Amino acid sequence: MTAGTQVTSVGAAPADGRAVSAHRRVVPVLLVLGWLLGVAWRMWLARNASMPIAHTDEDSYLNTARALAGGPGGFSSENETLRRIGYPLVIAPAFLLDWDFVDTYLLVRVINAAWSATLLPLAYLLGRRLLGLRRGPALVAAVVAATLPAAAFHAGVAMTDAVLAPLLLAWLLAVHRLVERPGPATAALGGALSGAWHLMHSRGLVIVAAYAGLVLALVVRRRLGPAGLLAATMPVLAAALGNEAGVRLLGDAVHLLGASPAGNDLRAVLSGRGLSQVLASIGTQLWYLMVITFGLAGVDAVRRLCRRGDEAARWTFEVALVTTVGVAVGAEVVLAGVPDRVPDSIYARYVQMFAPFWLLAGIGVLFGVGYRPLLRRAAVTVALLVTGGALIHVRLAHAASQGAELRYGTFSALDLMVLTGGWQELRPVVGAAVGTGACLLLVLAARNARSRAIVLAALVVVNVATMQVITQRVVRPLAAAGTPVPSVADLGVRPGERVAASKAVPYQLRFNLSHQVTWTEVPWFADNPPADADVVFARWAPGKPEDWDGTRHGFVRLGGDPVLKWAAWRRQ
């Protein structure tokens, strides 16, 4: 019996036509309610952070969005080559209302949550159209994908990653539709989504390249004509021109702090040490995706590539696999060219957007493969997880023995930190064990529909619990450490006053103090404040040499927090 036949048998329609009609009416209602609940859940998770916590990425996007809305500019950690204005355009409306920053930032996260929660309906459509799941299993699978921490976390921070996971699912659905029904309309839809990717992030270059390859393949096979080729190309070209126009419109309102690669990435990769570092990092990212998707994703990719028939689905999975690897490779090559950068044990941000898709693919295996083939593929999965975990362990041990321990930061892979208990260091052996255990549990549950439903519901609980731990262990402490109390308004700083900030103020507080000054850009200074500054934020460290004495410059202290080492001063 073929896999496609099994999907059909699992998804057999009820005999009663009225029941089918009732199901069709109920599902859209459930998807809308689920989207609303997803928005509320994401906002609830972000309730503790009234200020940015992911510096300097959030600061860069927020400053650019404010400038696009007609307000003052600021800095951005982007560089000229990889600069994108797509996400700042999405959140720029929040700055049009001229609210205080706390309210504006809340509105930004509402926008994020609304976009991020579209994972649910998009995942449902993908489960139905690409995986051939019944309505019930497709709905449960969509809930699992929509609650996956790799995607849900970013809704609580002002970063482009908040919108990338749903955008990826929409793009893959468009790819599937194009292969299934080639034509100008479907080609234009895929081109528009590829163009949106180009506007959002430099990772969009990989998306555009993959889509271009697909379109050319269809043209060569004479399944797509000149009109379709033009329809696929024009939206991407329009997006590229639009991004350039937006950058030129901003002018020098936003100052770029990032250094362009300038060939450093190629020089790093061409060295033996650099190439081995890049390859190891790519492998770690792909292993990470297998762990957090509970083991079945990689095996499903291989199965789809080898599967005959169902051309639209097979091509879509090929595009997804090529894109996943391409983004992992591209990200590591670019990061390798950053001057004086300490290599990471893992930096999963750039591939996290793929996690919901590969999780859905893994669930598709449970519902579409016979039990014995599933056992064989699970054995391959376990081998990959264990081998990957062992190799990563050896890599970390070797780096430590050379006195060059790899960096492991707060935002390296928060979900993996929770699942492995690795808050201080990457624990690949534990990660391999977690992935293996989850994979075996899923295989055992695949024997009957009831056990599958129970295990999928358990995955939702795991996702929700993981996000709760992240909120308590990461978001709340970072918010407490980076939120200035008292606020700028409470200190009496008034709109119209010229404000500057000392580089000696802890950077989280310096950025968040500056955000509250919504009427003007806040320049930085080393020791002597600008001559035209009415108010300055400086370091407050009583009894310490680094304490800034504003009286020497004709200022009087308004207040601040000596524990968090900052104070506001006004010129007399």
**pLDDT, mean of residues 32-46:** 97
Compute CA distances 255 → 65, 73, 78, 497, whole Å: 13, 8, 9, 21
Band of residue 261 on the pLDDT scale cut at 50, 70, 90: low
> Do 532 and 465 belong to one domain?
no
Whether residue 309 is predicted with pLDDT greater than 80 in this model: the reply is no
Instruction: Report yes or no on 343 lying in a domain.
Output: yes
Instruction: Report yes or no on 245 lying in a domain.
Output: yes
Lowest-confidence segment of 81-90, 99-108, 361-370, 429-438 by average pLDDT: 361-370
> Do 206 and 332 belong to one domain?
yes
Band of residue 1 on the pLDDT scale cut at 50, 70, 90: very low
Helices 311-336/161-180 angle, 10° precision: 140
**pLDDT, mean of residues 126-131:** 93
Domain count for the chain, please give it. 2
**pLDDT, mean of residues 217-228:** 95
**Rounded distance between C-alpha atoms, residue 491 and residue 126, angstroms:** 52
Q: Is the peptide bond before 324 cis (omega within 30 degrees of 0)?
A: no
Band of residue 50 on the pLDDT scale cut at 50, 70, 90: very high
For position 343, what pLDDT does the model report? Answer: 85
> Do 224 and 272 belong to one domain?
yes
Whether residue 227 is predicted with pLDDT greater than 60 in this model: the reply is yes
Whether residue 209 is predicted with pLDDT greater than 50 in this model: the reply is yes
> Do 172 and 74 belong to one domain?
yes
> Do 405 and 515 belong to one domain?
no
> Do 7 and 113 belong to one domain?
yes
Instruction: Report yes or no on 133 lying in a domain.
Output: yes
For position 308, what pLDDT does the model report? Answer: 53
For position 275, what pLDDT does the model report? Answer: 86
**Reported pTM:** 0.93
**pLDDT, mean of residues 22-31:** 85
Instruction: Report yes or no on 306 lying in a domain.
Output: yes
> Do 506 and 447 belong to one domain?
no
Last residue of a domain, one of 447, 477, 507: 477
Instruction: Report yes or no on 144 lying in a domain.
Output: yes
Whether residue 8 is predicted with pLDDT greater than 60 in this model: the reply is no
Facing residues of 254 across strands? Answer: 74
Place of tokens 């700042």: 88
Which of 28-37, 331-340, 402-411 tops mean pLDDT?
28-37
Question: How open is the CA angle 340-342-347, to the nearest 5 degrees?
Answer: 130
Helices (H), 92-203: 101-116, 119-129, 135-146, 149-152, 161-180, 184-200
Share of the chain above pLDDT 90, in %: 75
Last residue of a domain, one of 477, 512, 536: 477
Whether residue 2 is predicted with pLDDT greater than 80 in this model: the reply is no
> Do 554 and 460 belong to one domain?
no
**Rounded distance between C-alpha atoms, residue 426 and residue 346, angstroms:** 8
- What is the chain's percent helix, strand, coil content, to nearest 5? 65, 5, 30
Band of residue 224 on the pLDDT scale cut at 50, 70, 90: very high
Question: How open is the CA angle 416-417-423, to the nearest 5 degrees?
Answer: 160
For position 266, what pLDDT does the model report? Answer: 73
pLDDT, tens digit, 9 for 90 and up, residues 409-434: 888 899 999 999 999 999 999 999 99
CA 22 to chain centre: 36
The more confident residue out of 436 and 273 is 436
Instruction: Report yes or no on 494 lying in a domain.
Output: no
**pLDDT, mean of residues 325-331:** 94
For position 18, what pLDDT does the model report? Answer: 63
For position 20, what pLDDT does the model report? Answer: 59
For position 457, what pLDDT does the model report? Answer: 92
Q: Look at phi and psi of residue 309 and say left if phi exceeds 0, alpha if psi is from -120 to 50, else beta.
A: left
Whether residue 201 is predicted with pLDDT greater than 70 in this model: the reply is yes
Last residue of a domain, one of 477, 512, 535: 477
> Do 152 and 102 belong to one domain?
yes
Facing residues of 256 across strands? Answer: 76
pLDDT, tens digit, 9 for 90 and up, residues 430-457: 999 999 999 999 888 888 888 888 999 9
pLDDT, tens digit, 9 for 90 and up, residues 525-571: 998 999 999 999 999 999 999 999 999 999 999 999 999 999 999 99
Band of residue 319 on the pLDDT scale cut at 50, 70, 90: very high
For position 307, what pLDDT does the model report? Answer: 57
Instruction: Report yes or no on 294 lying in a domain.
Output: yes
Lowest-confidence segment of 115-119, 329-333, 469-473 by average pLDDT: 329-333
> Do 408 and 524 belong to one domain?
no
**pLDDT, mean of residues 460-471:** 96
> Do 242 and 296 belong to one domain?
yes
Give the residue numbers spanning the domain of 76: 3-477
Written as six digits, the tokens of 229 are: 């080729």
CB 499 within 8 Å of CB 73: no
For position 303, what pLDDT does the model report? Answer: 58
Nearest to 358 by CA among 148, 196, 162: 148
Q: CB 461: neighbour CB atoms within 10 A?
A: 10
For position 17, what pLDDT does the model report? Answer: 59
Place of tokens 């023995």: 401
Instruction: Report yes or no on 218 lying in a domain.
Output: yes
> Do 452 and 552 belong to one domain?
no
